[in-house]
Chain A
Amino acid sequence: MSAFLTYLVSGVAIGCTFALVASGFVMIHRVTRVVNFAQGTFAVVGGMTTASLLGRGLPHGVAEVLAIVVCGVVGLLVGAIAIGKPGTPPLASLIITLGLAIGAYGVEVVVFGDQPVSFAMARGATTLGGAHIQWQYFLVMGATLVTFTALALFFERTYVGKALTACSSNPYAARLAGISVLRMGLLAFALGGMLGGLAGVLITPLQPVSFDSDAVLAVNGFAAAIFGGLMRPGTALLGGLVLGVSESMVGGYVNASYETEVALALMLAIMVWRSARTPVSVEEAA
C-alpha cells in the first residue's frame, strides 16, 4: 500500500511536469498552428540555467525566476526564427523548431557542459500513509495547479488572452481588427518558453537533466498535449497525469526500462478508443 502511494504521488508529480511541457505545446499551437519541437529544449534550458545560477551563489527563488525569464527569451528567439517570416507554413516552422532543438545541443554543451545537472529545491520528506514522500513532489503539484489556474484565468478573463484566442480562432478576422497575428504568435512562443522552463525548473530536482533530456520530455509533453487535440490546456493536464501515473506504476511494479513505452502505448490506446467514440472534428481550413 505504501509503495502504491509512493508510485502514485511521484507519478502525479512527474505527470504535472509533462502537463507543463504540454501546456507550452498547446499555447504555441493554439495561436500559431505550429507544433514546437523545441518545447523540450525550453525545459532543459530552464533546469540547467537554474542549476548554473544556484552554483554561482544566487539564492533560491531568484535563480528559478531568472531561469524562467531566460526561457521566455529563448522561446521568443525560437518563435522569431520559426514564424518571423510572414507566410511561413506551419509545417516549415515545425521543421525549423526541430532543427533549433538539435542545434541547441551544441550550445547547451558549450554553456552548461555535457554532464547531467541537478539541484535541491524543496528539501526533506514527509510520511503519508506509511509512504515516504519528498516535499518536492508537493511543490511540483502546487506550482502546476497555480500555473493551470493562471492560464485559465489568462485566457478567460484578460483582453490579451482573448486576443490570443481570436488569433487562434480566426486569424483573418483578428488581422482585420488590427491585432498583429505575428506579434501574438511571438507572445505565445515566449509564454510557451516560460511554461517549458517552469517544467524544467520543477523536474530537475526529481530527475537530473542533461542536454539531451529534451527528447523524453518533448515526447511525453507532446503525447499529453495531443490528448487535448493540441488546443485545450485542461485536457493536456489530464493527459499528463495519465502518462505520469502509468509510467510510475509500470516503473514500480514491472520494469522501469519499459515505462515510457508502456505509457505511450496506453496513451495511444486511449486516443484510439476516444476517436472511435466521438466523430473526428474537422478543422476549418485556414
Chain B
Amino acid sequence: MLQVTDLVVRYGSATALDGVSLHVDDGERVALVGPNGAGKSTLVNTLSGVVRPASGQVRIDGRLAHVPEGRQLFPELTVEDNLRLGAWRSGNRDPSRVYAVLPDLDRIRRQRAGTLSGGQQQMVAVGRALMADPDVLAVDELSLGLAPIIVSELADHLRALNREHGMSLLLIEQNARLAFHLCERAYVLESGRVTAEGSSDDLARSPEVARAYLGGITEQDGPDEPTAAPSAPSGWSSE
C-alpha cells in the first residue's frame, strides 16, 4: 500500500531524513514514534508531496490523505466548506459520507472552523482528509494539545475507519502509549533514522523504547532528545 525506500530529505545542509525505509500494508495500522525534531513530520510531508526528497523512493498504491500537525483548518470557512475542500482530489464533494462516520460534524457543519474547540477541530481535520476517499490516512500528532478523553474518542473513530472501511493508517505520534495501543506495528524514528521497528507489543516490551517513550518522561519542546537518547544502542530493534 505504502512503501518508502531509502528516503533522504535535506533542508539546505541539514539532513532531516537519512535513509528511511518503511512500509504500511493493506488495511494495516502502523505507528511512527519518536521525539520532536526526529523527522516524523518531514516524512509525512514528503509522502504528501509538499517536501521533495533528495533521494529514495515513495510508492503509494492509491491515495494518501494527510491530517497535518496542528489541524491546519481554514478558520474563516465553515466546517462543511472545510470538508468540501478536502474533496478537491476525489471530486466527490458531498460530505454526507463523512457525517455518517463522524456524526458530531453534522451538528456543527455551519459553524466557522476557527470557532471550534481543539477536539472538534481535530475531528474536522480528520473529516477533511476522509473527503479525499483515501486508501491510506496519515495522521500527524493526533493527540497534541487534546484532553485524553477526546483523544481516545478520536482514536476509536480511526480504529473504526480502519476496521470497517479497510483504510490503512499511519499514525505519527509523540505519545507512544497511544501509538502502541492503537497500532499493530510501529517504527521508532530518531534523528532522521529508523532506530527500531516491530510489533507494538514487542516494542513496548523493549527496555530502551519503554525507557525513552513510555517511562513517564514528559514531552519536551524543541529538538532536544529525551534523556535516554544518548545511551540508545544501535542494535535494539526487534527484527
For A169, list chain B residues within 8 Å (CB): 74-77
Question: Bound complex: CA of A175 vs CA of B45, how far in Å?
Answer: 11
B77 contacts which of A166, A172, A175, A178 (Cβ < 8 Å)? A166
The B-contacting residues of A in range 145-187, CB under 8 angstroms, are 159, 162-163, 165-166, 169-170, 172-179
**Contact (Cβ within 8 A) A177 B85:** yes
Chain B, range 66-108, C-beta contacts under 8 Å to A: 66, 68, 72-77, 81, 84-86, 88-89, 93
Number of chain A interface residues as a range: 10 to 19
How many cross-chain pairs have Cβ atoms below 8 Å apart between A and B?
A: 52
Residues of A within 8 A of B46 (CB): none
Kindly state the separation between the CA atoms of A122 and B88 in the bound complex, as whole angstroms: 43
Q: How far is the CA of A109 from the CA of B103 in the complex (A)?
A: 63
Given the interface contacts A175-B50, A178-B132, does A170 sit within 8 Å of B73 by beta carbon? yes
CA distance A176 to B48 in the complex (A): 7
Q: For residue A163, give the distance in angstroms from its CB to the closest CB of chain B.
A: 6
Q: How far is the CA of A178 from the CA of B48 in the complex (A)?
A: 9
Nearest-neighbor residue (CB-CB) of B90 within chain A = A178
A residues in contact with B81, CB < 8 Å: 162
Could you tell me the distance between the alpha carbons of A170 and B49 in the complex, rounded to whole angstroms? 16
Q: Is there contact, CB below 8 Å, between A173 and B89? A: no
B66–A166 contact, CB under 8 A? no
Residues of B within 8 A of A175 (CB): 48-50
**B128 CB within 8 Å of chain A:** yes
Q: What residues of A have a CB within 8 angstroms of the CB of B128 in the complex?
A: 177
Contact with A along B39-80 (1 / 0, CB 8 A): 000000000111000000000000001101000111111000
Give the contacting residue for B84; candidates A162, A170, A174, A178; CB below 8 A: A162
- Known A177-B89, A177-B132; contact A166-B74, beta-carbon cutoff 8 A: yes
Which chain A residues border B86 with CB–CB below 8 Å? 177
Chain A nearest CB, measured from B80 CB (Å): 10
Q: In the bound complex, what is the Cα–Cα distance between A176 and B73 (angstroms)?
A: 11
Instruction: Name A's interface SS.
Output: helix
In the bound assembly, the distance between CA atoms of A162 and B93 in angstroms comes to 13
Interfacial chain A residues near B49, Cβ < 8 Å: 175
Task: Tell which of B72, B84, B93 touches A173, judged by Cβ atoms closer than 8 Å.
Answer: B72
Distance of A170 Cα from B68 Cα, bound (Å): 12
Cα of A173 to Cα of B76 in the assembled complex, Å: 13
Alpha-carbon separation in the docked complex, A166 to B85 (Å): 8
What does DSSP make chain B's interface, helix, strand, loop or mixed? loop
Q: Give the shortest distance, in Å, between B170 (CB) and chain A (any CB).
A: 14
Please determine whether B88 and A165 come into contact, CB atoms closer than 8 angstroms: no
Q: In the complex, A175→B85 CA distance in Å?
A: 11
Chain A positions within 8 Å of B85 at CB level: 159, 162-163, 166, 174, 177, 179
Q: Cα distance A178–B133 when bound, in Å?
A: 13
Query: B74 and A172: CB pair below 8 A?
Result: no
Query: 8 Å CB contacts to A: which residues of B118-137?
Result: 128, 132
> Once the chains are docked, how many angstroms separate the CA of A37 from the CA of B73?
31
> CB-CB < 8 A to B68: which residues of A?
172-173, 176
B116 to chain A, nearest CB (A): 15
Q: Which of chain A's residues has its CB closest to B128's CB?
A: A177
Return the chain B residue nearest A167 by Cβ: B74
Q: How far is the CA of A170 from the CA of B77 in the complex (A)?
A: 11
Report Cα–Cα, A166/B48, bound state, in Å. Answer: 18
A92: min CB distance to chain B, Å = 19
B44 closest partner in A (C-beta): A176
User: How far apart are A179's CB and chain B's nearest CB, in angstroms?
Assistant: 5
Interface residues of A in 19-42 (CB under 8 A from B): none
Q: How far is the CB of B211 from chain A (nearest CB, A)?
A: 35
A170 touches B74 (CB 8 A): yes
- CB of B50 within 8 A of CB of A163, answer no
Q: Which residues of A contact B75 (CB under 8 A)?
A: 169-170
Known A-B contacts A172-B50, A172-B68, A173-B68; the reply to A179 vs B88 at CB < 8 A is yes
Could you list some 22 contacts between A and B, CB below 8 A? A159-B85, A159-B93, A162-B77, A162-B84, A162-B85, A163-B85, A165-B77, A166-B74, A169-B74, A169-B77, A170-B75, A173-B74, A175-B49, A175-B50, A177-B85, A177-B86, A177-B88, A177-B128, A178-B88, A178-B132, A179-B85, A179-B88
Which chain B residues have a beta carbon within 8 Å of chain A's beta carbons? 48-50, 65-66, 68, 72-77, 81, 84-86, 88-89, 93, 128, 132
Interface residues of A, Cβ cutoff 8 Å to B: 159, 162-163, 165-166, 169-170, 172-179
Q: Identify the 7 closest CB pairs spanning chains A and B, nearest first.
A: A178-B89, A173-B72, A169-B74, A178-B88, A166-B74, A177-B88, A176-B66
Q: A169-B74, A175-B49 are in contact. List 7 more A-B contacts (CB 8 A).
A: A165-B77, A172-B68, A173-B73, A176-B50, A177-B86, A177-B88, A179-B85
